């Protein structure tokens, strides 16, 4: 899957999230920006160091009491070891989110596309797109739910190696 196909999928996902609420005249989406660290595990952890995570998100209105959907676009990057300079992942994922009765704690699980790129020290690189899953929990740090923290698990189904990491991030909702 190339960059243009990823852009088209991103636009399609955004349209699916935005369209139902636009028909009712409501503002159906809250946007968020997030930044944090990613702890690599498995084969990725054996061949890379602590990474960084940047993400943007669109969160939809509740689909039923306690449940919402969201779409995430994220970038994770890790410095490599040995013959690998860097590992990077660009992801587009959809998540189902469950909000606890307290209103401050939530859990999420989702499926997405992960474009992985491995940059080698000989200036060569390898890139491919795979399916993957993500899940985790979050906590709204402020009563107005604008500032939040999340801890997750991401696993991209890459062939020949395990690409698993734990993003830990702080975010701001608009």
Predicted local distance difference test score (pLDDT) of residue 124 = 87
**Residue 22: what are its φ and ψ, rounded to 5°?**
-65, -35
User: Looking at residues 91-101, what average pLDDT do you find?
Assistant: 95
Residue closest to 171 by CA, chosen among 27, 58, 15 = 58
- Domain that residue 138 falls in: 3-173
* pLDDT tops 70 at residue 57: yes
How confident is the model over 20-48, as pLDDT tens digits? 444 444 567 899 999 999 999 999 999 99
Predicted local distance difference test score (pLDDT) of residue 158 = 82
How confident is the model over 80-90, as pLDDT tens digits? 998 899 999 99
List of residues 6+ apart from 69 with CB closer than 8 A:
17, 59, 60, 63, 94, 95, 96, 97
Give the chain's domain count.
Answer: 1
Predicted local distance difference test score (pLDDT) of residue 25 = 47
CATH of the domain at 45: 2.40.160.20
What secondary structure, in 3-state letters, does the chain show?
CCHHHHHHHHHHHHHHHHHHHHHHCCCCEEEEEEEEEEEEEHHHHHCECCEEEEEEEEEECCCECCEEEEEEEEEEEEEECCCEEEEEEEEEEEEEEEECCCCCEEEEEEEEEEEEEEEECCCCEEEEEEEEEEEEEEEECCCCCCEEEEEEEEEECCCCCCEEEEEEEEEEEC
pTM of the model: 0.81
* pLDDT tops 90 at residue 14: no
* pLDDT tops 70 at residue 4: no
């Amino acid at each position: 899957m190339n960059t243009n196909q990823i852009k088209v999928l991103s636009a399609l996902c955004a349209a699916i999230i935005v369209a139902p609420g636009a028909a009712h005249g409501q503002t159906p989406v809250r946007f968020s920006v997030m930044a944090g660290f990613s702890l690599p595990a498995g084969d990725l952890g054996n061949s890379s160091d602590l990474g960084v995570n940047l993400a943007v998100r669109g969160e939809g209105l509740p689909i039923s009491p306690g449940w919402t959907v969201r779409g995430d676009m994220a970038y994770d990057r890790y410095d490599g070891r040995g013959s690998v300079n860097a590992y990077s992942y660009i992801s587009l994922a959809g998540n189902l989110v469950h909000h606890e009765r307290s209103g401050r704690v939530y859990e999420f699980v989702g499926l997405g596309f992960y474009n992985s790129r491995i940059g080698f020290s000989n200036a060569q690189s390898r890139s491919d797109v795979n399916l993957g899953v993500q899940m985790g929990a979050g906590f709204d740090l402020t009563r107005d739910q604008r500032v939040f923290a999340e801890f997750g698990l991401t696993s991209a189904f890459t062939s020949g190696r395990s690409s698993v990491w734990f993003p830990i991030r702080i975010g701001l909702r608009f």
